[in-house]
Structure 1
Amino acid sequence: MKNAIYLFQFYLFLLILGFSCSQKENKQAESFPESTEVQEKSERKTILFFGNSLTAGYGIEDYEAFPALIQEKLDSIESDYQVINGGLSGETTASGLSRLDWFLEEKPAIFILELGGNDGLRGISLEETEKNLRGIIRSVQEEYPDTKILLAGMQIPPNMGQAYTDNFRKMYAEIAEDEEVALIPFLLEGVAGDPEYNLPDGIHPTAAGHQIVAQTVWKYLKPLL
């Protein structure tokens, strides 16, 4: 009788052991597709949008901002790029330069610089703004020489005087030429000053405005892909 009990217990132990191993193998097998997916995602090249509230999508949903629309466009053509939105409302060129290192950890293949608008609205000296923009560009170039840089030009109303406004507009083209980077002449082309495409503050685009901005960005981004 005792032998029968021991034999039963032994077979029960083998059954439990076999079930446990089977469960472990199933879990491992299930983990492989997920690991492959993570690996494939990590191998995608990065496009970093580095800017202020325009890039961040102030006043609208994240998915309505032009960086998200660019991601949709990239996905539609099965591109291997992923977009990171590094926009921060209120950002100036000085604060952007100070937080740049943290974002450069993303090792961007394409770096889109959209800063300076807040400098202009606050009347910060053009020399200071220009120095910071060049500093950001050169920092990216030194860290990642192969990274392609696209500078987004900006314009401001003549609140600070016509000379300041004119020189502010010209500054972006001069920087792009000197630093040998690509240029979007005016990010808000077809949007700025049009109430139909701007929030009540007259500064930030609506969702419809961001659709136009995305088209403008895509025009200059596509050749860099």
Structure 2
Amino acid sequence: MKKIVLFGDSLLAGVMKGEPSEILNRYILDELTEMGFPGYEVVNLGKRGESSTDGLARVDEAVEAQGDFVVISFGTNDSLRQKNTVEVFGENIKEMIESFDASKVILLTTGYLNTAIITMGDNNRQQRYVQKAKQVAEDIGVNVIDLYHHLTVYPKPNEFIQTFDGIHPSTEGYHFLGALIARDIKEKLLAEG
């Protein structure tokens, strides 16, 4: 069975109402099966509250999982809690990505925040982390999903965010995220021939 490793913070942990869940795992697998790519399992290594520095400290755990695909997503805690500058975040992400075969990596950027709920949030700051992630991905040559962009091209992005905390995707948001990840994996599989 082929393996998808989700390595990141609470976004990838599928946090719903403050608790990790299987919601993102299920949506990714359902979408891949519907696209004609069944037979995958998800190893979820998402952890709440982690910055990119925390992720870098446990990158070996993700390497040892030996995924056919690895989705990396950090940055919200770097930005929201200002744990790392944009420059340190970029260095951490670069080092994480370089721990894997680049053809297996999908880098997922930070998302949009509902700042009416999470008042300490700053979407302008979030976007600086998004831009840094995209720059690192381009420099190394890995796929990137700009989650912030995908969420904000819609007129009502708050519909994709839980009212519980203003940070994590709603059920619809996780469904959308699962579809984005599955689509990227499908594109990689088709490119491999």
Normalising by structure 1, we get a TM-score of: 0.68
Does the C-alpha gap of structure 1 residues 151 and 115 become closer, same or farther in structure 2, counting only changes over 3 Å? Answer: same
Q: Which residue of 1 aligns with 2:158?
A: 194
Q: How many residues align?
A: 177
Cα separation, 1, equivalents of 2:112 and 2:81? 11
Bigger RCO of structures 1 and 2 (CA < 8 A, at least 6 apart):
2
Cα separation, 2, equivalents of 1:51 and 1:196? 19
Q: Deviations over 1:51-81 (max 9, x none)?
A: 11111111257332x2221122334435333
User: Contact 2:13–2:21 (CA<8 Å) still a contact in 1?
Assistant: yes
Cα separation, 1, equivalents of 2:130 and 2:93? 14
Cα separation, 1, equivalents of 2:146 and 2:181? 10
Task: List gaps (5 residues or longer) in structure 1.
Answer: 1-43
Q: Which has the larger radius of gyration?
A: 1
Instruction: Give the partner amino acid of 1:152.
Output: L
Q: 2:143 aligns with which of 182, 196, 201?
A: 182
Does the C-alpha gap of structure 1 residues 172 and 206 become closer, same or farther in structure 2, counting only changes over 3 Å? Answer: same
After TM superposition, give the deviation of residue 103 of structure 1 in Å: 2.4
Q: Which residue of 2 aligns with 1:55?
A: 12
Aligned-pair Cα RMSD in Å: 2.7
Q: Which residue of 2 aligns with 1:134?
A: 94
How much identity, in percent, do the aligned residues show? Answer: 25
Does the C-alpha gap of structure 1 residues 161 and 194 become closer, same or farther in structure 2, counting only changes over 3 Å? Answer: closer
Task: List gaps (5 residues or longer) in structure 2.
Answer: none
The ranges of structure 1 where at least 4 consecutive aligned residues each deviate by more than 4 angstroms after the TM superposition are 155-166
User: Contact 1:46–1:81 (CA<8 Å) still a contact in 2?
Assistant: yes
Instruction: Give the partner amino acid of 1:137.
Output: I
Q: Which residue of 2 aligns with 1:203?
A: 167
Cα separation, 2, equivalents of 1:181 and 1:202? 29
Q: Which residue of 2 aligns with 1:85?
A: 44
Q: Deviations over 1:142-199 (max 9, x none)?
A: xxx6x51111122566968787454323112111110110010226733784146423
After TM superposition, give the deviation of residue 116 of structure 1 in Å: 1.0
Bigger helix share: 1
Deviates more, 1:198-207 or 1:109-118: 198-207
Cα separation, 1, equivalents of 2:110 and 2:124? 15
Cα separation, 2, equivalents of 1:58 and 1:162? 20
Q: Deviations over 1:81-138 (max 9, x none)?
A: 3221111111111111111112211211111111111101122211110110001001
Deviates more, 1:130-139 or 1:214-223: 214-223
Normalising by structure 2, we get a TM-score of: 0.78
Equivalent residue runs for 1:64-143 within 5 Å? 64=23, 66-76=24-34, 77-123=36-82, 124-141=84-101
Cα separation, 1, equivalents of 2:28 and 2:123? 34
User: Contact 1:126–1:168 (CA<8 Å) still a contact in 2?
Assistant: yes
